[in-house]
Amino acid sequence: MKKTRWGMAALVLAASVMFAGPSQADPYNIRVGWVVTPGHLAPLIVALAKKHPEVFKHLGKSYTMDAVHFQGTTPEIQAQAINELEVASFSSAALALAITNAHLDERLVADVVGDGMNGYFSGTYVVRADGPIKKISRGTALPSTRSARPPTRRCVRCSTATA
């Protein structure tokens, strides 16, 4: 009688293993931080994947993606430090802070936004013709800062001409 029970249990176990389908894990969710478009295309990836599925072959299958908006690049350091963000769009200054101050183990994946590269568009700065700024030089510098608050202005290195 005991042999029959063990035999039946083994048969049921073998049948459940044979007829069970392959196990399916949930897709890995990748949270990608972004600050501004079109420089950061993270918020557009889902739309791009619908239009060009051949580019994002595994999106929705082995991984999913959430685009997380930030008001600046430095708040992304905090999000990565508490494991709320997998991919960050750091500025060069924020990358340095993440490594030196937050002691995060960062890997550089891509250079997204470049400025001042030959053959490509760079930022344009416009001044009044009758204003105090007459030329741009590398001598004196106005402070150039970025913060998590929306910027009111962005300054470049310039000198004011004295009359």
The answer to whether 42 and 56 have CB atoms below 8 angstroms apart is no
Residue 106 lies in a domain: no
Residue 1 lies in a domain: no
Residue 84 lies in a domain: yes
Q: What is the pLDDT of residues 72-115, one digit of tens each?
A: 989 999 999 999 999 998 888 899 999 999 999 998 888 776 66
**For residue 50, what is the DSSP state?**
H
Residue 11 lies in a domain: no
Q: What is the pLDDT of residues 39-63, one digit of tens each?
A: 788 888 888 888 999 999 999 999 9
CA dihedral sign of residues 127, 128, 131, 135: positive
Residue 56 lies in a domain: yes
| Angstrom distance (rounded) from CA 89 to CA 112 | 8
What is the tally of structural domains in the chain? 1
Residue 49 structural domain:
28-100
CA 135, 140, 143, 144: dihedral to nearest 10 degrees? 60
Taking 90 as the threshold, does the pLDDT of residue 132 lie above it? no
Q: What share of the chain is helix, strand, coil (3-state, %, to 5)?
A: 25, 15, 60
CA 152, 120, 99, 42: dihedral to nearest 10 degrees? 80
Residue 64 lies in a domain: yes
Residue 39 lies in a domain: yes
Prediction pTM value: 0.57
In a 3-state reduction of DSSP, which class is residue 34? strand
- Regarding predicted confidence, which is higher, 161 or 5? 5
pLDDT of residue 3: 61
pLDDT of residue 128: 85
Helix (H) / strand (E) element for 37: namely none
SS3 for 55-109, per residue?
Answer: CCCCECCCEEEEEEECCCCCHHHHHHHCCCCCECCCCHHHHHHHHHCCCCCCCCC
Residue 57 lies in a domain: yes
pLDDT of residue 146: 43
